[in-house]
Structure 1
Amino acid sequence: MTVSIPPKSDISKTDTNDNETCCTNKNVSSTNHTESLLDTTMYDFDNEEKTKEAKPELDNKIEKQNQCSTTMMRLYNLNEAPKHLQHNIFILTGYRGILNTKLCIESIFWWTNETMNIWSHIFGFLLFVGLTIYDLLLLKLHASFLDKLCVAMLLLCFQACMALSAIYHTFSCRSEHDCNYFLSLDLFGIALTLLAIYMSGIYYAFWCHQGLLSFYMITITVIFGFAMILQYPKLNINANLKMIVFVIWAAYGVVPTLHWAILMGGFGNPLVATLIPRVAGMYAISGAAFLIYLTKVPERFCAGKFDYLGHSHQWWHIFVVFALYYWHNTGIMYAEYRMNHACATMLRLDF
């Protein structure tokens, strides 16, 4: 069997159709494949050389990134921590550095001096979500829609307070600006909670006295508005002044409480005898929490011993959760009483 190889000129003539091949086209061009192969080889060789040269630089970059990540994830002593995080001079270790959003979220699961602050109010948030579901769906209270709305709004405000507090403690290390911003949200949550406590208390206390009910509702709303104006970041109001406003607002609650007790006939009334101690208990719990917060006890007497567990801000959080839970139970107690007792004017007999 013989194979004939046509002349090169014939190949050029026969390959002039529209179907191009890998080596030819309509405009036949001569390609030196040896040179092309050499060029390709040289190109690959050059790339390999460049890759070898770039590899140390790439390794250095990766190493620097790893070092940066490790640095961001480490904890700092008091004198090393960012200035805006040095709130408590008696907590000496466990501070986070400046973190990005991702690491802020991850730091929820680190063991730092903020861990218990975050998780105590995550627990509080879940507690009040559970109570909302229980009160509205499972608790067999034959209350009116308005009563149920009052309970729901109270618990939603409690949830907001818990959530905003946890968010503040999570993201306070992102930057000083973010710290101040989230602190304002945290204080807003506290104000919202105070408003909810007052509104629920006034709603049940003066439900038979619509004029007084309206008066006290307007009063506490005005105070709430003033407290919110102070939170506006551009006003740059001192944090201590903001706290004083909250203390005055909390103390104002004594006024409608005493007014209600006198209106109901004093301790001779069984309802007053039952609920006044509950209100006093609420003030006692809140007062103890605020005293611990101000005095920074116990870490004041053992600096560095309570950095991660047991310092004053953690106790403040625990007391706040307990106080709100205590008030919720007081509200349910009053709601049950209201369902079984009508206003005195409704019980009046006509002769």
Structure 2
Amino acid sequence: MPKHTILRYRRKKGGQWREINLQGTPDKRKDDEDELEVDVKEDRSEQTGIVTKTYEARWKVLKYEHLPEWLQDNEFLRHGHRPPLPSFSECFKSIWSLHTETGNIWTHLIGCVAFFFLACWFLTRPDNHIQFQEKVVFSFFFAGAVLCLGLSFAFHTLSCHSVNVVKIFCKLDYMGISLLIIGSFIPWIYYGFYCRREPKITYIAMVSVLGIGAIVVSLWDKFSESRFRPIRAAVFVGMGCSGVIPTIHYIITDGVHSLFADNSFHWLLLMAFLYLLGAGLYATRTPERFFPGKCDIWFQSHQLFHTCVVIAAFVHYYGISEMAFARLNEQCPVR
């Protein structure tokens, strides 16, 4: 039978870890101290007699003021934060624990898995059900959704690893948002201007250039800092609002009735509302701004933002599916 020994360490913020003697009655942990438990398992091999030791850390959630500066992102979330966990395995194990990132992790993990299987189902339909060309067009949307949600899941899971890892995955997270916006626009523009080659190519190119620009901006190190939260929201909202230009073009050439009847614009408006709602909650940190310490685990702004993104993506899928069905069942006019 393996032998287990529990070691306990404490430190003040920014200080060195010191071992606590558990033989007597240990001192009560002070409010400005972090505590770490380590389970040491000793296992002796019967054949060789060699003893192997396995160390497993047992971390505890911290208050906001006890976090290192690079983990202090939202001062309205007062408690329940993960400590620095400079181990990829520990970070991924933490998804099964309850802390401030639990909701952020699972909302986009579930969304990523759902879109992955939806994409697999869609792309494996027989060609006499869904033509290859339509599969290619929808692939841009599926790729954007899976990458955006998957990179977001990875970032929130690893956000407590280390400064360098956080910087890398934060940039990947923002890149994923840009890819989702590009991937969402391409099917809508393709089917919206299905019978007109020039505007279709022009607007797809425009959205792609704007998306690349947003990715370049997001690679700036300071872009991920907490004080630039409103600017981050503005960059992606501005990119999404670029869809106003092709919309006005379509209204001028085809009219408002066709915009809703043939282009499922009501679904796109609902999608836009959900994205803007989520971005607004994220930028203003609502509701935790008005209830500090009450939304630490559930119903914080970032979770609500994630939920809006997943719902909006499914709404968009339904909308472009309607558009595709309508376009593929009508003839293009002779020009």
TM over 0.5: yes
Match of 1:78 among 61, 64, 76: 64
> C-alpha distance in 1, partners of 2:205/2:108?
30
Larger deviation, residues 333-342 vs 71-80: 71-80
Q: Deviations over 1:276-325 (max 9, x none)?
A: 22221111111111111122222122111111111111111111000000
Radius of gyration: which is bigger?
A: 1
Larger deviation, residues 223-232 vs 312-321: 223-232
Deviation at 1:247, TM superposition (A): 1.9
Match of 1:254 among 244, 249, 252: 244
Match of 1:87 among 37, 52, 73: 73
Q: Which residue of 1 aligns with 2:186?
A: 199
> C-alpha distance in 1, partners of 2:165/2:197?
43
Deviation at 1:275, TM superposition (A): 1.8
Contact 1:94 1:308 in 2 (8 A): yes
Deviation at 1:141, TM superposition (A): 6.9
When residues 307 and 116 of structure 1 are mapped into structure 2, their CA distance, relative to the original with a 3 A threshold, is same
When residues 175 and 136 of structure 1 are mapped into structure 2, their CA distance, relative to the original with a 3 A threshold, is same
Q: Tell me the SS of whatever aligns to 1:94.
A: strand
Match of 2:305 among 310, 316, 326: 316
Deviation at 1:262, TM superposition (A): 2.4
User: Identity of counterpart residues, as a percentage?
Assistant: 27
Deviation at 1:148, TM superposition (A): 1.0
Contact 2:233 2:283 in 1 (8 A): no
Query: Is structure 2 residue 325 aligned with structure 1 residue 336?
Result: yes
How many residues matched? 287
1:148-187 to 2 correspondence within 5 Å?
148-187=135-174
Q: Which consecutive residues of structure 2, in runs of 5 or more, have no partner in the other structure?
A: 10-18, 21-34, 40-56
Query: Is structure 2 residue 98 aligned with structure 1 residue 108?
Result: no
Q: Which residue of 2 aligns with 1:23?
A: none
When residues 78 and 332 of structure 1 are mapped into structure 2, their CA distance, relative to the original with a 3 A threshold, is same
> C-alpha distance in 2, partners of 1:287/1:168?
22
The one-letter code of the counterpart of 1:264 is D
The one-letter code of the counterpart of 2:278 is A
> C-alpha distance in 2, partners of 1:294/1:234?
19
Match of 2:285 among 293, 296, 304: 296
> C-alpha distance in 2, partners of 1:61/1:286?
47
Deviation at 1:77, TM superposition (A): 0.2
Contact 2:100 2:296 in 1 (8 A): yes
Match of 1:276 among 241, 259, 265: 265
The one-letter code of the counterpart of 2:301 is S
Q: Which residue of 2 aligns with 1:306?
A: 295
> C-alpha distance in 2, partners of 1:62/1:291?
43
When residues 138 and 259 of structure 1 are mapped into structure 2, their CA distance, relative to the original with a 3 A threshold, is same
When residues 173 and 327 of structure 1 are mapped into structure 2, their CA distance, relative to the original with a 3 A threshold, is same
The one-letter code of the counterpart of 2:300 is H
Deviation at 1:269, TM superposition (A): 6.6
When residues 288 and 105 of structure 1 are mapped into structure 2, their CA distance, relative to the original with a 3 A threshold, is same
Q: Which residue of 2 aligns with 1:20?
A: none
Deviation at 1:258, TM superposition (A): 2.1
Q: Deviations over 1:144-168 (max 9, x none)?
A: 3111111123112201111100000
Which one has a larger percent strand, Structure 1 or Structure 2?
2
When residues 295 and 242 of structure 1 are mapped into structure 2, their CA distance, relative to the original with a 3 A threshold, is closer
TM-score relative to the length of structure 1: 0.75
When residues 288 and 61 of structure 1 are mapped into structure 2, their CA distance, relative to the original with a 3 A threshold, is closer
Q: Which residue of 1 aligns with 2:210?
A: 223
